[in-house]
Chain A
Amino acid sequence: DIHMTQYPSSLSAAIGDRVTITCQASQDTGNSINWYQQKPGKAPEVLISDATKSQIGVPSRFWGGGSGTHFTLTISSLQSEDIATYYCQQFDTYPFTFGQGTKVEIK
């Protein structure tokens, strides 16, 4: 199985800060990585598919990068509504797997 190592597991940043979350795959996954945002008590929502493609309606401050085994989700200017847990997910090889999540809080 492909193991997704996501870090940091949590972070605290100020409004307006640039935030970067990293996901490392245990083997090459090409561009087959998605990113999700989950707010407390809610189902996750997809932000980025295929490593870099923003979903319709997702604010432009969210963007994805990387390929192969190293991927990043960047929030260019953190807003209060971005408080959530973020997950990466690979779909290169079954079984699909998620990273363990990054909890983002406001400093």
Chain B
Amino acid sequence: QVQLVESGGDLVRPGGSLRLSCVASGFTFTDFYITWIRQAPGKGLEWLSDISRTTTTTHYEDSVKGRFSISRDNAKKSVYLQMNSLRVEDTAVYYCARGGGITRGYFDAWGQGTLVTVSS
């Protein structure tokens, strides 16, 4: 079955870095954009970034542009989110999701999420 599994969440100090991973299985990985979405505790969903099937195109939400970087390794069926210069307000559950792009912009499979806590 279609599955996405995130990992890499941790407690990190403000200004620190973290790399999240998302491993996919159960579908043809190269047929889909992959997207990162986060949810701060008790808050709503926030779209962060997506990456195209061939890795040539990426997009970012304004508050993470220049600090976060998305990448993918199609051979490993994996997508990564490198997060630098972390802030307290980056504390959230981070989900990876299948889907993205203007032509298929809905997310029909989600991981279980990984918790990132930014605190001193």
A63 within 8 A of B: no
| A94 & B59 in contact (Cβ 8 Å cutoff) | yes
B residues sitting closer than 8 Å to A (CB atoms) are 35, 44-47, 50, 59-62, 95, 100-102, 105-108, 110-113
Q: List 15 A-B contacts (CB under 8 A).
A: A34-B106, A44-B95, A44-B110, A50-B106, A85-B44, A87-B45, A89-B47, A91-B100, A91-B101, A91-B106, A92-B102, A95-B47, A96-B47, A98-B46, A98-B47
> Which residues of B lie under 8 Å from residue A20 when comparing CB positions?
none
| A101 & B110 in contact (Cβ 8 Å cutoff) | no
Q: How far is the CB of A18 from chain B (nearest CB, A)?
A: 24
Q: Which residues of chain A from 20 to 45 have any CB-CB distance to chain B below 8 Å in the complex?
A: 32, 34, 36, 38, 43-45
Complex: how many Å from CA A85 to CA B13?
Answer: 31
